[in-house]
Amino acid sequence: MKSLLTFITTLSFYSPLLHCQQVSDLFAPEQGQADNKQLKTQTIRPASDLIKSRYAKEFMVVSAHPEASKAAYKVLEQGGNAIDAMVTVQTVLGLVEPQSSGLGGGAFLVYYDSQNNKLTTFDGRETAPLDAHSELFLKEDAQPMAFFDAVVGGRSVGTPGTVKLLAEVHKKYGKKKWLSLLSPAIQLAGNGFNVGPRLANAVKRDEKYLSSDDSAYQYFFPDGRAIQAGQQLKNPAYKNTLVALAKHGGDYFYNSDISQTIVDKVKQASNPGFLSQKDFSDYKVIERQAVCSPYKTYEVCGMGPPSSGATSIAQILGILEPFGLSQRSSNSAETWQLIADASRLAFADRGQYIADPAFVDWPKAMLNKHYLRSRSKLITPGTALQGVSPGVPDAKFYAAYQAGKSIEVPSTSHFVIVDKDKNIVSMTSTIENGFGSRLMVNGFLLNNELTDFSFRAHHKGKLVANRVEPGKRPRSSMAPTIVFKKDTNGLKQPYVALGSPGGSRIINYVANSLIAILDWEKTPQEAFDQAHIVNRFGVMDIEANSSAEKLKDVFEGMGYQTKVKDLNSGLHGVIFTEQGLLGGADKRREGLVLGK
């Protein structure tokens, strides 16, 4: 095995949240590997202390869990392509990292087909049931439900899309037999896997809500005790589900006892939902054109609506371009003030305009260079922008809708795969909140994706673009990304592939990493190691136990309210260099890079 890259990252952060800028800030993000008590003495170390990076010449996989990366490595080594490895990674993640993603959730895929030099995206986002209505998350007094009152149970469950995406994309691009790609997860589920610290810590923290469902409680609390790190855990129900899918194909998930069991579980929950068999029968994965925008000499491409990832990142970068970040210090408070205010402007437009394009058209002019330059002019270096409102890229869109509030809680998973032919998978998958709806069926958890909708359908007398509607896909912040640059012959070539979990902060984690790579010429690992500074709605979030804490007083002097807190991203990515492929895995989680 040549040039084996093994980057296992072990650092994580957690701090109590005292204030909030939006409702989702009330809930702690998924934790990393370390126990809370250990974190008081930990600091962020530079990449050189954590890994010794080498280059892979042939292929590479980066995922959130060692078992998933190892299984995908074998698929690639045995001649499978990136899509084959994608199926294996996701089905293993659904077993070993069930709190983040799985068969009961949804996904977005950005895929580069090197043979045809084609970039495309696949939308496997969950959909609202056909029986859902705009007051789904309102109480009898017309006020929004408390978050966990909405999440826990069947009310929050949308029609899952991950299995359909895996199956349909594999039929179109895969090489190896479907059965062989599910075998690693089947074997792990049957023989057992070692529980990681992140999963063990998450289970311990979530006992109150996991105990609401008998199946979930029995699995995560055998004999009434929470599973422990290092414990071997088997999941025979998950194994049986995968065996059925291996035998009958992915469509079986949507037209069989599996889908009917999900429907029954949702409707019989203490907080019942509205899924029906017709929702499963009607579900479609949608292939969409990637949203691509220029930044300097690069082209940054990603997932368009219903995700706000690509549009918001394009706006952030476009607003910042006139400020020449490559000439500014990555350690300067003023540099981060510019990034912060560009983010705030992008989030204002996101809230106003972005939703499922089958229901709400979005103004393409919001990515227009002249419009973004007009937004840039609102920013004054060294001084916090006072008050942020949506812009008006197109008057007819501005008049139609009002921004609403939706709750996106940090969870989710991201992985990147590059095969021998240089096909690229950049995929983000999720069940939304950690452990989703807490409903477990057939060995996997069901999503709570419907809480990504605005709880209110109207605001200030106007409809909210991201309101609940039957069959609609909730807005997302997931941002699987592939960046291109021109080679010496002027031909566009892949340069970077990356993404992250993290709720609506995904946009910032990815945008900030792109700036580090494209402007400051950092490696992926160096970019992911940099301390997080995030501003979406006016408050400057500063990563606890990081070098960024020294900027707190400076930011306050600029006019910002600040909060020092855990910002637990899960960035994973690969960069193409003259020496070969170079990957990075976020040290805040259990990620592993493997390459040959």
Catalytically annotated residues: 412
| Cis peptide bond prior to 272, omega within 30° of 0 | no
Distance CA 312, CA 321 (A): 14
Give the amino acid at 188.
L
| Residues listed for the chain | 596
CA dihedral 81, 83, 86, 87 (to 10 degrees): -110
Per-residue tokens: 22: 């939006």
DSSP code of residue 535: -
Q: Classify the C-alpha dihedral 87-90-94-95 as positive or negative.
A: positive
- Work out the burial of residue 247: count CB atoms within 10 Å of its CB; fewer than 13 is exposed, 13-18 middle, 19 or more buried: exposed
Q: DSSP letter string over 75-136? A: HHHTT--HHHHHHHHHHHHHHHSTTT--TTSEEEEEEEETTTTEEEEEEE--B--TT--TTT
Is residue 491 within 8 A of residue 312, CB to CB? The reply is no
Residues 6+ apart with CB under 8 A from 545: 13, 39, 42, 43, 44
Phi, psi for 305 (deg, rounded to 5) = -55, 140
Give the amino acid at 273.
G
Distance CA 60, CA 427 (A): 14
Is residue 126 within 8 A of residue 457, CB to CB? The reply is no
DSSP code of residue 380: B
- Work out the burial of residue 115: count CB atoms within 10 Å of its CB; fewer than 13 is exposed, 13-18 middle, 19 or more buried: exposed
Give the amino acid at 30.
E
Query: Residue 389, Cα to own-chain centre: how many angstroms?
Result: 26
Q: DSSP letter string over 442-473? A: TTEEPP-GGGGSBS-SEETTEEETTB--TTPP
Distance CA 398, CA 390 (A): 8
Distance CA 563, CA 556 (A): 10
Is residue 388 within 8 A of residue 372, CB to CB? The reply is no
Cα atoms in the Cβ-side hemisphere of radius 13 Å centred on 551: 25
Provide the terminal-to-terminal Cα distance of the chain, rounded to the nearest Å: 7
Distance CA 72, CA 591 (A): 13
Per-residue tokens: 174: 């895969």
Phi, psi for 387 (deg, rounded to 5) = 80, 130
Q: Which residue has the tokens 């973004």?
A: 372
Is residue 572 within 8 A of residue 27, CB to CB? The reply is no
Distance CA 94, CA 301 (A): 27
Per-residue tokens: 79: 């001649």
